[in-house]
Amino acid sequence: MAVQTTISDAPARAYAGQIADPAPRYCISRRAEDVATTPILAGQPVLFGTNPNTQALAVTNGDTIDHSTLAGFVVLDTARAFEDAPPAEGSNLSVMRQGTMRLLVTDDVSAGDQVYVGNATAQLGDIEGASGTGLVPVPGAMFLEDASSGDFALAHLTLGAPGEVSAEALAESIAGEYVPTLTNTTNVAASALLDARYMRIDNTVTVFLAVTVDVTAAAATVLDISLPVASDFGAANDCIGMMASNETVGAVAQISAETTANKATMTYTAVGTGVVTWRGSFSYVVI
């Protein structure tokens, strides 16, 4: 059993990978992979491993760092002596994806700077607040305070906790009303828009719609609806939705993707003639 024999006159202000406050945070558990090639260190970014659900890898030369590859930053394991060697192959890691952590910076940083990390041989392990040779931005990571090179800086991570939208996704978020073009494709004498509004978060678009449709016969009916944000559909299920009406018993219509003109297509079998009001929604991914 190790016994502490000395006490420093100036205890360290912080350690890399130290959780900085008791605020809610989201961490995942992973096992260290390929540490013989590149050690995994506290306070450093790690990538999803060979099995992304169970393993994590240190960043190496030329690695891509984005939402699809980045697992998070390694949390300091306070159960291990500070002088211990880095985690062994297969050992457990706590990896933070959302929360506040202390990072050891290798250049001066300012509050509000995006976090940049090294992904080139000469810059591996570097953490800075601006672009430079061998440095790439970490999506969803931002410094909360100023710090000098060689010191520790608070950084906030938002890398995709459950139910959470990243800063990048929010930057791409838009919502509002739009005026779709309605195409009377099959069995429709006339149609009219009552209301249409949409919201986009990242690459997912959801539309809420109300229209009237005047059908000419009790038969198969098709109404095409233009999109608020263009998408290149490749299959019918690239767009999914439903419309309903309380003016006709059992009146339900499906919405799917029309792949030739890249529209949403509303299809149903009319049970009679005349004007019916429909309300519903559909959703699709921008392709």
Q: 147 pairs with which residues across the strands?
A: 109
Q: Where are the domains of the chain?
A: 26-167, 175-285
Render pLDDT for 256-287 as a digit per residue (tens, 0 to 9): 999 999 999 999 999 989 999 999 999 998 88
CATH class of 175-285: mainly beta
- What confidence score (pLDDT) does residue 240 get? 96
- Provide the pLDDT for residue 81: 59
- Quick check: pTM over 0.85? no
Mean of all residue pLDDT scores within the chain: 87
> Which is more confident, 265 or 26?
265
**Is the confidence at residue 60, as pLDDT, over 90?**
yes
**Mean pLDDT of the 239-245 span:** 95
Please report the pLDDT score of residue 176 as a whole number: 83
DSSP string covering 225-244: E--SS-----SGGGEEEEEE
Distance CA 101, CA 214 (A): 60
Q: What is the C-alpha to C-alpha distance for residues 182 and 278, in angstroms, rounded to an integer?
A: 13
Q: In angstroms, what CA-CA distances link 100 with 21, 162, 214, 230?
A: 7, 17, 57, 37
| Model confidence at 127: pLDDT above 70 | yes
What is the pLDDT, as a whole number, of residue 139? 86
Q: For residue 68, what pLDDT is reported?
A: 84
Tens digit of each residue's pLDDT (9 = 90 or more) over 155-214: 998 886 445 555 555 555 577 889 999 999 999 999 999 999 999 876 789 999 999 999
Between 19 and 195, the more confident residue is 195
* Choice between 19 and 188, residue whose per-residue pLDDT is larger: 188
- Please state the three-class secondary structure of 32-93 as a single string: ECCCCCCCCCCCCEEEECCCCCCEEEECCCCCCCCCCCEEEEECCCCCCCCCCCCCCCCCEE
